[in-house]
């Protein structure tokens, strides 16, 4: 699992979140005992998130499967309103010698 997380971080992927039930998998054991887990998620780059800022991932329930269906829906932006771009700071940027210069230029 550590290698998987490392690959996600190295590729600059982010979990885009979801709408709907928290768990995407249900295992029903004997005597009514249930195991619920969030196994499914959607990952995207920041560029994709900024390009498709109105995209929403929905967890949908299904009576035919023990997994939730995932539906990625795109909502149109309301006319006249501009959505702010999401900004996230990466601490690794501090290791770049140009970081201070870029910040000072942007704030100036």
What are the residue boundaries of the structural domains of the chain, listed by start? 2-107
Predicted confidence at residue 79, as pLDDT, reads 63
- Name every residue whose Cβ is closer than 8 Å to that of residue 83 and which is 6 or more positions away in sequence: 53, 54, 77
For range 29-44, the mean pLDDT? 77
Report pLDDT for 13.
92
d(CA 18, CA 40): 10
Residue 28 has pLDDT above 70, yes or no: yes
In the structure, what pLDDT confidence band is assigned to residue 93 with cuts at 50, 70 and 90?
confident
Give just the sign of the alpha carbon dihedral 13, 14, 18, 22.
positive
Query: What is the tens place of the pLDDT at every residue in 38-84?
Result: 767 789 999 998 888 888 888 777 666 667 777 888 877 666 666 67
């Amino acid at each position: 699992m550590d290698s998987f997380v490392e690959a996600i971080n190295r590729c600059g992927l982010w979990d885009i979140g979801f709408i709907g039930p928290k768990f995407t998998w249900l295992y029903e054991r004997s005597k009514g005992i249930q195991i619920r887990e969030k196994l499914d998620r959607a990952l995207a780059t920041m560029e994709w998130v900024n390009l498709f800022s109105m995209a929403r991932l929905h967890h949908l329930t299904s009576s035919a499967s023990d997994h939730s269906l995932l539906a990625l829906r795109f909502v149109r932006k309301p006319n006249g309103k501009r959505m702010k771009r999401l900004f996230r700071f990466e601490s690794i940027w501090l290791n770049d010698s140009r970081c201070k210069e870029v910040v000072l230029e942007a704030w100036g």
